[in-house]
Chain A
Amino acid sequence: MSGLFSHIGRYSILLGQVFTRPAKASEYRRLIVDELDKIGLQSLGIVALLSFFMGAVVTIQTAANIDSGWIPKWTIGFTTRQTMILEFSSTIVCLILSGKVGGNISSEIGTMRITEQIDAMDVMGVNSASVLILPKIIAAIFIFPFMVIGSMFLGICAGAIVGTGQGVISLTDYIYGLQYYFEPYQVSYTLIKTVVFAFIITSISSYHGYFTKGGAREVGQSSTKAVVYSMVFILLSNYILTQLLLL
């Protein structure tokens, strides 16, 4: 239990250092642009691939499971939309990103720690926590919502392509289902979740990397812990946010 409190304490202190007023704003702008590329653009491929196939699979699964005259065909479009908007594009995509982005952040910062690069920054008088972590948090909070919107769009399009291509639903029914009882608030809800998940992934992964001690083995362990804890906290916060925002 004391270990848990120790982690919470160190995490809070680290965040305090991270959110200290930047010494040189222009340097941070450059770093944020770099991180937008590393965290965002370099993850677009995996997010697009996942979203396309998940949208397609959800459509086929729904079609296979409502093979009854009592349930209208447009339910397939409705289900695909709800699945993509409410859970897949935010929660599942962020779980995947916690592996890709979180693991990357933790191992990068962890390697900098064990090779004394962070000590070098500290000796210079640079706020290493802020310089290394703040641009990642800002970049993720900014870029993740766009990736999630793209994921929704791709998943829904994939559903239309596969559904109409295989003849399980007409495009008219699919579009009717997409539009049926659409609540724009649900998109806001999923974007709020995404921002929280982006913060969780970047801050928890950075924390584990920043306090790495030892050598290559410990960098690997930090990376694993970063991914596992990010996933746990994403799922936990998903539950809490859903309770707060939807009920």
Chain B
Amino acid sequence: MIEVKNISKSFDGNTVLHDVTTEFLPGKVNFIIGRSGSRKSVLTKCIVGLNEVDKGEIFFDGRNFTSLNKWDRRSIRQEMGMLFQGAALFDSMTVEENVMYPLRMFSKMTKAELQKRVDECLERVNLSGKNKLYPSEISGGMQKRTGIARAIAMNPKYLFCDEPNSGLDPQTAIVIDNLIKEITVDYNITTVVVSHDMASVIEIGDLINFIYQGNLWWRGNPASILNSDNKEVTEFVFPSAFMQEIRDALRQGHK
């Protein structure tokens, strides 16, 4: 479990995260949602330690991450996997080398063991046989799947996904969503997904954190977000007149 307690963050004197407190549960897909510029990515970067928080604490299964120095954080970091918005694959390496990278850096596996683990990870994301291709030679969806394979290579306890569906067509987005959900459940990972894609949230979300102007504005599950009366949440979930009509029709149906 990841616990975030009262964290604040500012850039050049401008506070962008205000006293955020929440928790992310293991074996669940925990969403951080919000409009563009709501600072959901800043929150995620604070949690993984890419941004230092000004105030507050972050606990990974009871271990205070914020109190550790850069070097002592490594042991917790090696339990993290992260899928970046643009996949962030090392473009000078093949698909196989990308997935192998964290294993080569931190494990003491033999060559044969490394290869076996890489093949397992690639098979898990349905990329068997693509080992020798470079990131520039595969599609955006495949890049995302390679990113997931790299993120799970070290058997992480925590998986972070920053906009996993951005730039993907709806069908490929569903494939990625299902993959994230399956991995989360199969390996009992604490998964945190940053997104503004409501289809993903409803499809695979277990817990939702709605960020508004750097504040944790609302917290709940997919069922409750559809029925929320919170003005900002409603505007985000049902942004158009068409969507609002659907919501009203759904509510009428429930009555």
Contact = CB atoms under 8 A, between A and B. Distances in A.
B80 interface: yes
A124 B45 CA distance: 13
A168 B87 CA distance: 64
- Count chain B CB atoms within 10 A of each CB in A20, A23, A124 and give the residue with the most: A124
B105 interface: yes
B50 A124 contact: no
A117 B82 contact: no
12 contacts: A20-B71, A24-B106, A27-B105, A116-B84, A116-B85, A120-B82, A120-B150, A122-B50, A122-B77, A124-B78, A124-B101, A126-B105
Contact of A115 (B49, B77, B80, B86): B86
Contacts of B48: 123
A117 B106 CA distance: 18
Contacts of B217: none
B74 interface: yes
Interface string A112-156: 100111011011111000010000000000000000000000000
Contacts of B49: 122-123
A124 B90 contact: no
- Chain A interface residue count: which class? 10 to 19
- Chain B interface residue count: which class? 20 to 34
A24 B107 CA distance: 10
A120 B75 CA distance: 16
A116 B86 contact: yes
Given A115-B88, A116-B88, A117-B90, A123 B105 contact: no
Given A23-B106, A124-B105, A119 B74 contact: no
Contacts of A124: 77-78, 80, 101-102, 105-106, 154
A71 B42 CA distance: 73
A65 B31 CA distance: 78
A123 B50 contact: yes
B73 A119 contact: no
B87 to A, nearest CB: 9
Nearest to A30: B104
- Count chain B CB atoms within 10 A of each CB in A20, A115, A117, A120 and give the residue with the most: A120
A33 to B, nearest CB: 14
Contacts of A24: 104-106
B95 to A, nearest CB: 15
B158 to A, nearest CB: 10
Interface in A1-32: 20, 23-24, 27
Given A124-B78, A125-B73, A125-B78, A119 B88 contact: yes
A125 B90 contact: no
Interface in A22-62: 23-24, 27
